[in-house]
Each structure stands twice: as C-alpha cells, then as structure tokens.
C-alpha cells in the first residue's frame, strides 16, 4: 500500500525558513517523480514543485521560484521542500504527491497523495 507521510509544518514568521519532509513507503521511491502541492485555507489546489526519480530534474511554480528548493534522498525514501523567505501567502496545507512515472511530465497526474502538513506564516 502506497503511503506518504508529511511532516515539518509549523508557524513561522514572515521572512523565515522551514523544511518539509515526506516519508514514502509501499513503492519503489526512486522510480517515480514526486511533487509538492499546496492548498491555502478554504482555497483550491496549487502545484508548487516537482522532481524526477533521480532528483536530477526539478521544476517550480513561478510563485515559489528562487525561494523554495525541492530535493529527495532515495536512500531514505524521503522527499523534501526547503522553504525560504516565507510570505503570508505561503500559508497553506502542503501535500506531497506521487507521479505515475519516473520523469516529471507536466501533462500527467498525481496518483497518490499524503495527508498534508500545515504551514502558517504570520507575525
């Protein structure tokens, strides 16, 4: 059974930093691209970032480019999102999501989602 478990969400001041983690199990982690998707309170879904199975190819939404860094440790079956220069508008539940293929293909979908971790940016 595929399981994705996010952690690391917290309350942080504007301009601060936070690192999210997503522990994966139930599948061969290194064989699949992974993404982060966020959902502001009471709002819709927004794709944030993605990377390939090896981690060698990364992609970012314009809203986070230059501030967030996605990475993975395939030896630990864990996905990360380093978030710097946080803003109030980054407040959201952050979900990690699995792709059905090795390479990130913008035209494909998320086949499994974690339960999410809440990031609140406020003074």
**Which one-letter DSSP state was computed for residue 15?**
T
- 23 touches other proteins (CB under 8 A): no
80/95 with CB nearer other proteins: 95
Rounded Cα distance, 101 and 53, in Å: 8
- Given the rule CB under 8 A, which of 16-24, 69-77, 78-86, 99-107 is the region that contacts other proteins? 99-107
- Given the rule CB under 8 A, which of 13-21, 25-33, 39-47, 84-92 is the region that contacts other proteins? 39-47
Minimum Å gap between C-beta 109 and other proteins is 4
- 27 touches other proteins (CB under 8 A): no
Main-chain phi, psi angles of 21, to 5 degrees: -125, 155
Main-chain phi, psi angles of 18, to 5 degrees: -160, 145
Minimum Å gap between C-beta 12 and other proteins is 22
- 67 touches other proteins (CB under 8 A): no
Rounded Cα distance, 4 and 9, in Å: 15
**Exactly one of 5, 10, 47, 55 binds other proteins (CB under 8 A); which one?**
47
Closest to 93 (Cα-Cα) out of 7, 25, 32: 7
CA dihedral sign of residues 16, 71, 96, 62: positive
Q: Which residues bind other proteins (CB under 8 A)?
A: 35, 37, 44-47, 50, 59-62, 95, 100, 104, 106-116
């Amino acid at each position: 059974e595929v399981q994705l478990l996010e952690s690391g969400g917290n309350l942080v001041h504007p301009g601060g930093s936070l690192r999210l983690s997503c522990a994966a199990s139930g599948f061969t982690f290194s064989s699949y691209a992974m993404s982060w998707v966020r959902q502001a309170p009471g709002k819709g879904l927004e794709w944030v970032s993605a990377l390939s199975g090896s981690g060698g190819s990364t992609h970012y939404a314009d809203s986070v480019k230059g501030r967030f860094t996605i990475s993975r440790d395939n030896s630990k079956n864990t996905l990360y999102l380093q978030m710097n220069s946080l803003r109030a508008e980054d407040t959201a539940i952050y979900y990690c999501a699995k792709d059905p293929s090795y390479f990130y293909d913008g035209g494909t979908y998320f086949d499994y989602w974690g339960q999410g971790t809440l990031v609140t940016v406020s003074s």
